[in-house]
Structure 1
Amino acid sequence: MEDSNSQEPEFSRRRMLGMAAAIGGTQFAQMLFGSTSAQAQTPASSAGGGKPMRIAVVAQQMSAQSDQRSWAGFQQWLKKAGLDKTWQIKQTDAKGDPGQLVSQIEDAITAKSDAILVLYGTLTAAKSALDHLTASKIPFFSLDSGWQAPAIADITSNNYAMSAQTSQFMIDTLLAQGKTKANMCAVIANFHHGTRKRGKVMKTALTENEWITMKNERVIQYSGFYEATQNTVNDWLTTYGKDLDVIWCPWDEPAMAAAEVVASRGMQDKIMVIGHDGHPTALDRMRKPNYPLVCTTAQAFEVWGAYTGWLINEIVAKGGDAKKLVPVPTVEFPAPLLVRGVNIPAPGEPTYNAKDLYYIYRDRAVAGM
């Protein structure tokens, strides 16, 4: 364990993300998770025993794969850093209820937690709790909740960029098929800032590609989304089936629901499905050569959880300068574009180790320079 009075090297967010780009996803993840091979150089592993901390972790919807994966990454980092015995973690689940989320944040404030972390919260509906957080001066962090004051950081991906990638791939694929006219339908999710942004970017891309017609769209809520998507896609295939080319989905789970319906109709060679997130269950299915879901983006949910643990340790436990460690409050990790039959990670390989389709192209060129 380091002497708390010794001078520590300064690690900024910019430097950490620069390191990620320089050494690759696998090694960077090893550093965050404190693997043996990286112990000597990782800030996380320098935590040692650490000082006792009481951390409140409030999940919007722990049944969601994203919440589960980020929580697993946080716990993995905690254990590898040697802090699982000295940090007391109270984890609660709002079960999708914004009112419960507010109540659980308020409870964490009342309990005088040393830090509060919200996973995938609807913070736009939590103004009263955020006001109380500001007054309490308890350090506050969030994951993919859309930055809201007084959060020190919101850890996420660039949702605009993710949708730009999948939308461009969709357009390029249609062009490669020789299409001069194409039709699509879209499942829209406005309840979360990330999925809402993805839908808006997709529609912006269509304004530059007017040969693609949006035949219909359906706005879904999280509750019952799988069945709602399946019923909707069934209706679309009945109405537009012979003319439909694409079904766009805001994240992988409704994309899997859509893909199931497309496959059940024997239309997997006619209609492609677009997804986002890179969940392992979706990737397992995308390893099949004719699965309708053709592309997604791999968000580093586990790494988000690990990096949040690192930030809490550096800022709250060690007293590091938050403004230097988090120069801008939205901390965005890369989300590689994954394409069926091209760069889907091997079974069991963490999705945060995946290499973006276009980085594969770049590396081919660089290898010959």
Structure 2
Amino acid sequence: MKKLFLLGILSLFLCVLVGNVALGEEEKISIAYIGASTDLPFWITLRNEARNQANELGVEFIDLTPPSMDAQAQKNSFDNAIQMGVSGIIVGAADSRAFDDSLDKASEVGIPVVAVDTGIDHPHIASLVQTDNLSSAKIAGQYILDHMTRPGKVLIIGGVLGHQTGDARKNGVTEVLEAAGVEVIFRAADWLPEKAYEVAQNELAANPDLTAVFAAWDPGAMSAKSVVAERGLTGKIIIVGFDGDPANLKAIKEGEILATIKQDNVKMGRDSISLLVDIINGKEVPKYIPIDGFIIDQSNVDEFLQ
């Protein structure tokens, strides 16, 4: 009887121990988040919402985002996340071409990866959460076309050449405008506001018939706004951005920028965490989660100003 009693106690202890181990394993889900930058408003909001969602789900959130747009620094962070043995990785690529061998390593050790905002052409990417950039850029192109008050050229200030997100935004606007017979000038600015400023200066000087500027990200639109203001052309040259950053919304309110395409970076941040947790838990998820963008201009900007 005593032996049976001891065996029973031992069995109960083992059951509790196994249960605690299983619970501990479940609680140990850790997600490395590697955004494009810590100093851009769009990415700050996306990161904060991803962290909030992780906290709500009881998931450890490890922010390995470089301070500025630096593809090599992102790759280093990605490789560090693999060495840390995290449960999964979210990456918002500054350059979608920078991760091939790192993704190969993640695949070898079984760490799932979700891309946010920018697509990465690699079979190990489990899902992509992003704005439908092409269709949203077409909305921007049509908006520019509808609000042009005089014939002329349109300058597109883009990101990095070959970057999936930037290319889609350039292509969407270009397709609409060229179909209407508008000449488009494209210049890459590598997602750098200072380079966007230089591009706007050079192109406005070289093309006095410019009638509009589209910037593929809002800080680029703010740079164009500064150049247009310096030349005394505020209100005469249309400026349209892409993101919905607070500074741009204020500029829209003041009539310095005409419009921006709003990206739902709150949803992007939260959905990327939820998707990755589902993947880690063995659930099937869609390969692509497109999120619609929409125009913010003076007609609705008050709804979004804080």
**Once the 2 structures are TM-superposed, how far is the Cα of residue 64 of structure 1 from its aligned partner?**
2.4
1:346 equivalent to 2:303? Answer yes
**Once the 2 structures are TM-superposed, how far is the Cα of residue 121 of structure 1 from its aligned partner?**
4.4
Which residues of structure 2 form unaligned runs of 5+? 1-25
3-state SS, counterpart of residue 128 of structure 1: helix
3-state SS, counterpart of residue 237 of structure 1: helix
Instruction: Report runs of 4+ in structure 1 exceeding 6 Å deviation.
Output: none
3-state SS, counterpart of residue 266 of structure 2: helix
1:315 equivalent to 2:279? Answer yes
Aligned twin of 2:210 = 244
**Once the 2 structures are TM-superposed, how far is the Cα of residue 252 of structure 1 from its aligned partner?**
1.0
3-state SS, counterpart of residue 56 of structure 1: strand
* In structure 1, distance between residues paired with 2:129 and 2:219: 21
1:154 equivalent to 2:124? Answer no
1:198 equivalent to 2:169? Answer yes
Aligned twin of 1:117 = 90
* In structure 2, distance between residues paired with 1:92 and 1:304: 18
1:330 equivalent to 2:285? Answer no
3-state SS, counterpart of residue 224 of structure 2: helix
Are the structure 2 counterparts of residues 217 and 308 from structure 1 closer, same or farther at C-alpha, using a change threshold of 3 Å?
closer
Are the structure 2 counterparts of residues 236 and 138 from structure 1 closer, same or farther at C-alpha, using a change threshold of 3 Å?
closer
| The one of 145, 149, 153 aligned to 1:183 | 153
Contact 1:53–1:88 at 8 Å: present in 2 too?
yes
Are the structure 2 counterparts of residues 305 and 347 from structure 1 closer, same or farther at C-alpha, using a change threshold of 3 Å?
closer
Contact 1:284–1:347 at 8 Å: present in 2 too?
no
Over aligned residue pairs, what C-alpha RMSD do you find?
2.1
Say how many residue pairs are matched: 278
Aligned twin of 1:24 = none
Are the structure 2 counterparts of residues 183 and 145 from structure 1 closer, same or farther at C-alpha, using a change threshold of 3 Å?
closer
Contact 1:162–1:276 at 8 Å: present in 2 too?
no
| The one of 282, 306, 329 aligned to 2:270 | 306
Max radius of gyration: which structure? 2
| The one of 279, 295, 298 aligned to 2:259 | 295
* In structure 1, distance between residues paired with 2:227 and 2:82: 46
Are the structure 2 counterparts of residues 74 and 250 from structure 1 closer, same or farther at C-alpha, using a change threshold of 3 Å?
same
Which residues of structure 1 form unaligned runs of 5+? 1-49, 350-369
Aligned twin of 1:90 = 62
Percentage identity across paired residues of the two chains: 18
Are the structure 2 counterparts of residues 168 and 58 from structure 1 closer, same or farther at C-alpha, using a change threshold of 3 Å?
same
1:126 equivalent to 2:99? Answer yes
* In structure 2, distance between residues paired with 1:61 and 1:335: 21
Deviations 1:243-281 (A, max 9, x none): 321122111111111112212322123111121111111
**Once the 2 structures are TM-superposed, how far is the Cα of residue 201 of structure 1 from its aligned partner?**
2.1
Aligned twin of 1:166 = 140
When normalised by structure 2's length, the TM-score is: 0.83
